[in-house]
Chain A
Amino acid sequence: MSEFYLILVSREHQVLATGIKSFKVIFVEDLLDYILKFGRSNEYLDVRLEKFQNLVINSINQEITKAFTYQKKGIGIRILADGAWGFASSQNLEKSAVKKTLEIARKMAHIEADRSKTPIQLAEIPVSEDMVEVPCSIDFREIPLEEKINQILMWNNQINISEEILRTIVDYATISATKYFWSNEGTKIKFIRPLVYVNLGAVAKGNTGVRAYYQPWGGTFPNVGGTGGHEILGQNGDLSEICQLVGEKAIKLSNAKPAPTLKDIPIVFDPAYMALLVHEIIGHPSEADRVLGWEAAWAGSTWWKGKSKDEGNPTKVGSKYVTVYNDPTIPKNFAYMLYDDEGTPCKRTTLIKEGIVTERMHSRETAYLMNVEPNGAMRANTYEYQPLIRQINVFWGTGDWKVEEIIEDTKKGVYLLGANIPSIDDQRFNWAISSQEGYLIENGELTEHLYSCAATATTPTFLKSIDALAGDDQQLFWSSCGKGDPMQGGTVSNGGPTMRGIATLTGPRK
C-alpha cells in the first residue's frame, strides 16, 4: 500500500484527488509536463487525464430500484514510437505509476515496430491551447439529491395516467467530466463537460396484449438528454407533457393490431426512427477505420469502400434527398466537443451531399493515408481506452416537404415512429430496425395503429428510393453506441427530419 496520496490541483484550483495519510500537492499541469518530458524527440506522445463524477438513478413506478454515484479518475498515455502505436492506462496518478504506465505503452510500441513493415504516419494538425467549458444554466450539481429523486418520482406519476399502465419506468443519469489533453507537439486542451439524460417508459395492458413503450438505449423524444445542465430537459426541467405522451402511447400500443408483412412499400420514418437509421446505415460505414478494414473482425467493414471523394471517387449512391453531416460542434448535442481525443479541432463534415459520397470521419492516421485533412472524429470513452474513430453527431439534412404533405402524398404505405432495436449486416448493406409503433397509411391518411413493426431493406436500393424529406421537423436525439476491442460505450447524438423511402415492413413473427 502506498504511504502517501496526492492532491492534484489544476491552475484553477480544481481538486482531482485528495489524500489524508501524508500528501503533497501537485498541479495537474506539472504532472502532464512530467509525463511529456519523457517523450523522446523521435516519438509522438499524448496524454489524457480525466475525472468523472456520475450519478445514476433508476426507478419503476414509485420505487427507486437503483441509485448510485461513482468517481473515477486516471490517465491514458498513447505513444507513437518507431512508427507503431502503444497505449496504456492507469487510475494510479502517483508519478512512479504514471512513469511505469508510459514505459508499458512504449514497450508495446517497440514490439509492434519490430514487426511493422509500414510505419504509421500522422496528418498534421494545428497546435491548440484552449479551455472549453460547457455552459450550464441549471447546474445539476447544485440540485440536491432529494429534489432530483422527487422529480423522478413525479415523472413516474405523470406517466401513470390510467389503470391500464402496469409499470412506469424512469432512468436518470448525470455525468460531470473534466478532461485534459496534452501532446508533445504542444497542444494543451481542457474540456469541462456536464451531461444529463433521461429514459422514459411504460408497460401497459390493453385489448391486444401487454406492450412496452420504452427505448433501452436512447431517447425516443428530443429534449430528454444532451450536453449541459437541467435546462436541456424539456422546458427547463419540465417533462410533464412528454411523460403524459409516454403513458398514452403505451396504452394505445396495447390496443394496437399486429403489423402485417408488406413487401417493398413506401415507409415514412419519423425523426426518432431516423436517428437510429442514420446512425447505422450512414454513420458507422462512414468511419474511415471501417472503410479501411480495421474493424473487419467483429463489427465489419463497409459496402461503399472506395466510393467517396476522400478516396478519389465521389460516387452517387442515393437520391437528391440524401445529405448527411457529422457535426460535433452543435451546442447541447449529447456528444458535443470542439476537439477530439487527438487534439484535432472538430468541424462539420459532409458525409454525403445530395446522394454523392464525399467525406469520411477520420483520425490523423487515416487522414494521412487518404491524403485529406483530419476532421476530429477520434474519441475514447474514458482515459482507460485508446481513442478510435467514431461518429459523434451524425444527422440527416433537411428537404423541402412538410410532414403532412409526405403523409398526404402516400396512397398506401406505413408511418413508423420511434426507433427500437437495430440489426445490421457487417457491410451495412442490409438493415432491419424495429420501431416503437406504426400506422398504416391509406389514401394519405393514418388508419390502423400497429405494434411490432420492423422495416428492412438493402442500403443502396433504399437510399435511391428516398423521394420525400421534410424541412420542418429536423431533431436531434441522445443515444449511446458501442465500438472497439475492448468494447467502448459512448455517447452519440443522431437525428434528422421525417423521410419517405421504400422498404419491407415485417410484423410479429408467428
Chain B
Amino acid sequence: MNEDYSERLEYAINKTQKYKDIFQIEAFLGENNLLTIRSAMGKILESKVIQDAGIGIRILKEDGGLGFSSTCDFSDEAIIKSIDEALAISKFRKVDPSYSFAVPRKSQRNANFYDKQLVEAIYEYDNLNETINQALQETLEFHPAIKEVAGPAHFVEYKKHIINSNEVDLSEKGTYWNAELMAIAETSLDRREGSDSSAGFAVKELNLSQMATKAGDMAVKSLNGKKVDAGTYEIIFSPMSMSTFLGWFVMLTNPQNQEKNMPLLKDKIGGMIASERFIIGNDPLKVASPVSGLYDDEGTPTEDIIIVENGIFKTMPLDTFYASKFQTRSNGSGYRLARGSGMTNYPGQLYQSEPIPIFPSIYMEGGGSDVERMIESTRKGIYLDFLHYAYITNGGTGDYTGILRQGTFLIESGEIIYPIKKCRLMDNIIEMAKNIELIGEPKIAGHWRDMRLVPPVKISSVDIIPY
C-alpha cells in the first residue's frame, strides 16, 4: 500500500459540501493487499495477489434521503460522478428523520491488529511460499497412508479511513492470515480426510506443523469407517464443527436476514432460544478477523456484545441504519461485507458496499467440561470434527442440515468404538441449541474468514441419516 489516498477523501467531503440540501456526508476508503497460496495434490497449485483500493461515498440529505455510491477510480471526475449518483439515489430512499451517520466516539479500548512482519512477508512471497511447502511435506510424511494434502492460505494487509461531516476522522490498519490443511489418507479399502485450520493477525502465530500433525492424525484415525444406523444421537461437536453451527445460529439474529428469508427470531429479543448454558457474543478484540479493529466501518467503537446470555436472546447486530429503525444506537457492528449482487467478498475491507449489520468476531463462553468427560458421559453418540456444507434450509422453522464429513467416530457406553462413514445431520438448529448439555473450553477454530472462538460442545439429541 504505497499510495496515500487520504487526500481523495477530503476532496470528496469538500466537494459535497458545495451541494445544496446536504445534511451529512461520509467517505470511506478501503484498501486491500491479499496474497493467496492454494495447494492441492500435495503441492502448491497457485499463488496470486489482489491489490484493491477505492472510495465509498454516502450522502444524507436534509429531507432524510440516503444515497451511496463507490468507485475505484480516484480521479476528480470519478469522485464527482459517485457523489452525483449517491445524490440521485437519495431522492428515492428515505430514512427516519432521526437517522445520522456515526458521531465521534472514542474507543475506550486498546488493541493492535497490524503486524509489520506479516506485511513484509506478503511482499516477499517466497518465505511464506516455502513455509507452506514445508507444511505440505510434513503432512505427507506424517504417515504412509497419507497420499494427498490440500488447503488454502490467505494473507491480507488491510486499511480503512473514514471521514464524515460529523467530524469522525479515523483510520485503522491491520493484517490477517488464515490457513487450512486437509490431509487425505488412503488404503485399498478406504479414503478419509482430516483437517485443521487456524488464523491470526501476526506471522509468528502461524504454526503449520501443529496443523499438519492434527490433519494427518485425524485422516489416519478415520480410515476404515463403518456405516452408522439412522437415529437420534448425542453429538460431541469439536470447536471446528461448533464454529460452523454457531455461524448459522448467529445469522438468525441478524435483523436484515430476519426481514427476508430468516424470520424465525424476528421480535424474539428477550425470549429463550437456547439452553441456559449457552452464552455467545461478538468482540473483534477477542477474535481476529479480516475486519478487526477498534471501530467498525462507520466509525463507531466496537464493543464486547452479548448476543445470547444463558439462553436468552439479548442483542442483534446494529449499524447506524438498523439502529435508527429500532430507535436505539449502533453497537459498532456496521461492516462493508457485501454479499450477492455480483460482488465477491474476500478478506479485508470493501469500499463497494454500504455498511450492513454483521457480527464478524463471534465467541462462545466456555463451560468447564472437556472432550474426554463428554465422551465418558455419552451412551450412544458421535464425535464430529468437521461439519460440511451445512445450511438452514428453512429460515422460518430453523430446519438445519449438513454432512458429517471428517473426524466422525461412534461412541458407545462412554468409549469411542470406531470411525464412521460420512452421514447427514437433519435437525432443527434452535432445538439443537436448546439441547446443549456440556461445554468445554474455547479455542479459535473454523474456516476461511469465518474463524470463531468456540469450545467443544455436547448436544444431547440430534437426528442422523446415513447414506
Q: Do A and B interact with each other, yes or no?
A: yes
A91/B72 contact (C-beta < 8 A), A64-B92, A487-B344 known: yes
Q: Does chain B have a CB within 8 A of A421? A: yes
Question: Which residue from A90, A212, A300 sits with its C-beta under 8 Å from B261?
Answer: A212
Docked Cα-Cα span, A469 to B400, in Å, equals: 30
**Contacting pair B75 A17 (CB below 8 A):** yes
Residues in chain A near residue B401, CB distance under 8 A: 423, 432, 454, 456
Docked Cα-Cα span, A426 to B421, in Å, equals: 13
Q: Does chain A have a CB within 8 A of B413? A: no
CB-nearest residue of chain B relative to A17?
Answer: B73
**Contacting pair B3 A88 (CB below 8 A):** no
A91/B51 contact (C-beta < 8 A), A145-B89, A212-B260 known: yes
**Contacting pair A115 B467 (CB below 8 A):** no
**Contacting pair B47 A2 (CB below 8 A):** no
**Contacting pair B180 A201 (CB below 8 A):** no
**Contacting pair B263 A212 (CB below 8 A):** yes
**Contacting pair B47 A111 (CB below 8 A):** yes
A15 to chain B, nearest CB (A): 9
Q: Does chain B have a CB within 8 A of A237? A: no
Q: Does chain B have a CB within 8 A of A149? A: yes
Q: Does chain A have a CB within 8 A of B417? A: no
Instruction: Tell which of A101-109, A132-140, A155-163, A241-249 binds the partner.
Output: A101-109
Q: Does chain B have a CB within 8 A of A293? A: yes
Per-residue CB contact flags for chain A residues 85-102 toward chain B (1 = under 8 Å, else 0) read 111111110000000010
Docked Cα-Cα span, A432 to B395, in Å, equals: 16
Q: Does chain A have a CB within 8 A of B152? A: yes
A216/B394 contact (C-beta < 8 A), A430-B467, A491-B342 known: no
A203/B263 contact (C-beta < 8 A), A19-B76, A298-B447, A424-B389 known: yes
**Contacting pair B89 A68 (CB below 8 A):** yes
B256 to chain A, nearest CB (A): 8
Interface size on A, residues (CB 8 A): 103
Residues in chain A near residue B352, CB distance under 8 A: 70, 72
Per-residue CB contact flags for chain A residues 117-143 toward chain B (1 = under 8 Å, else 0) read 000000000000000000000000000
**Contacting pair A173 B72 (CB below 8 A):** no
Residues in chain A near residue B78, CB distance under 8 A: 17-18, 71
State which residues 42-60 of B face A: CB under 8 Å: 43-54
Docked Cα-Cα span, A204 to B282, in Å, equals: 32
Per-residue CB contact flags for chain A residues 385-428 toward chain B (1 = under 8 Å, else 0) read 11000000000000000000000000000000000111111100
Q: Does chain A have a CB within 8 A of B17? A: no
Docked Cα-Cα span, A60 to B126, in Å, equals: 50
A232 to chain B, nearest CB (A): 15
CB-nearest residue of chain A relative to B431?
Answer: A510
Docked Cα-Cα span, A335 to B341, in Å, equals: 14
Interface size on B, residues (CB 8 A): 102
Residues in chain A near residue B354, CB distance under 8 A: 66, 68
Question: Which residue from B36, B396, B399, B426 sits with its C-beta under 8 Å from A485?
Answer: B36
A54/B342 contact (C-beta < 8 A), A18-B77, A298-B180 known: yes
A296/B154 contact (C-beta < 8 A), A88-B51, A149-B92, A167-B259 known: no
Q: Does chain B have a CB within 8 A of A34? A: no
B349 to chain A, nearest CB (A): 14
A423 to chain B, nearest CB (A): 5
Residues in chain A near residue B392, CB distance under 8 A: 421
**Contacting pair A216 B389 (CB below 8 A):** no
Docked Cα-Cα span, A25 to B388, in Å, equals: 51
Q: Does chain B have a CB within 8 A of A146? A: yes
**Contacting pair B340 A212 (CB below 8 A):** no
Residues in chain B near residue A201, CB distance under 8 A: 260-261
A458/B467 contact (C-beta < 8 A), A107-B125, A203-B263, A508-B397 known: yes
Per-residue CB contact flags for chain B residues 416-436 toward chain A (1 = under 8 Å, else 0) read 000000101011100100000
Question: Which residue from A67, A203, A420, A423 sits with its C-beta under 8 Å from B93?
Answer: A67
CB-nearest residue of chain A relative to B325?
Answer: A65
Residues in chain A near residue B184, CB distance under 8 A: 296
State which residues 312-360 of B face A: CB under 8 Å: 340-347, 352-354
Q: Which of B3, B353, B394 has the most CB of A within 10 A?
A: B394
Instruction: Tell which of B63-71, B97-105, B111-119, B160-168 binds the partner.
Output: B63-71
CB-nearest residue of chain A relative to B342?
Answer: A175
**Contacting pair B395 A212 (CB below 8 A):** yes
**Contacting pair B50 A486 (CB below 8 A):** yes
State which residues 342-398 of A face B: CB under 8 Å: 381-382, 384-386
**Contacting pair B92 A111 (CB below 8 A):** no
**Contacting pair B389 A425 (CB below 8 A):** yes
CB-nearest residue of chain B relative to A109?
Answer: B47
**Contacting pair A91 B53 (CB below 8 A):** yes
**Contacting pair A423 B390 (CB below 8 A):** yes
**Contacting pair B77 A20 (CB below 8 A):** yes
B314 to chain A, nearest CB (A): 23
**Contacting pair B68 A68 (CB below 8 A):** yes
Residues in chain A near residue B391, CB distance under 8 A: 421-423
Q: Does chain A have a CB within 8 A of B14? A: no
Instruction: Tell which of B80-88, B272-280, B300-308 binds the partner.
Output: B80-88
Q: Does chain A have a CB within 8 A of B7? A: yes
Residues in chain A near residue B400, CB distance under 8 A: 509
**Contacting pair A169 B260 (CB below 8 A):** yes
Q: Does chain A have a CB within 8 A of B403? A: yes
**Contacting pair A89 B152 (CB below 8 A):** no
Q: Does chain A have a CB within 8 A of B309? A: no
**Contacting pair B150 A18 (CB below 8 A):** no
**Contacting pair A297 B150 (CB below 8 A):** yes
Q: Which of B41, B76, B344 has the most CB of A within 10 A?
A: B344
Q: Which of A21, A69, A454, A491 has the most CB of B within 10 A?
A: A69
A485 to chain B, nearest CB (A): 4
Q: Does chain B have a CB within 8 A of A44? A: no
**Contacting pair A69 B89 (CB below 8 A):** yes
Per-residue CB contact flags for chain B residues 144-168 toward chain A (1 = under 8 Å, else 0) read 0000101110100000000000000
Docked Cα-Cα span, A420 to B341, in Å, equals: 18
**Contacting pair A296 B49 (CB below 8 A):** no
Residues in chain A near residue B259, CB distance under 8 A: 60, 65, 167, 169
CB-nearest residue of chain B relative to A488?
Answer: B344
Q: Which of B43, B77, B354, B399 has the most CB of A within 10 A?
A: B399
Q: Does chain B have a CB within 8 A of A295? A: yes
Q: Does chain B have a CB within 8 A of A264? A: no
Q: Which of B39, B126, B259, B428 has the most CB of A within 10 A?
A: B259
Residues in chain B near residue A65, CB distance under 8 A: 93, 259
**Contacting pair A214 B260 (CB below 8 A):** yes
Docked Cα-Cα span, A404 to B52, in Å, equals: 53
**Contacting pair A145 B88 (CB below 8 A):** yes
State which residues 367-402 of B face A: CB under 8 Å: 388-402
Docked Cα-Cα span, A300 to B403, in Å, equals: 12
Question: Which residue from B39, B48, B89, B345 sits with its C-beta under 8 Å from A108?
Answer: B48
Show 16 A/B contacts (Cβ-Cβ < 8 Å), sorted by A: A17-B75, A67-B68, A69-B82, A69-B89, A72-B54, A92-B53, A108-B125, A111-B129, A112-B129, A216-B340, A296-B41, A381-B344, A434-B399, A486-B50, A486-B154, A509-B463
5 additional contacts, CB 8 Å, given A71-B73, A72-B71?
A19-B76, A91-B72, A296-B193, A382-B344, A434-B393
5 closest Cβ pairs, A-B complex? A297-B150, A485-B152, A486-B346, A434-B393, A20-B76
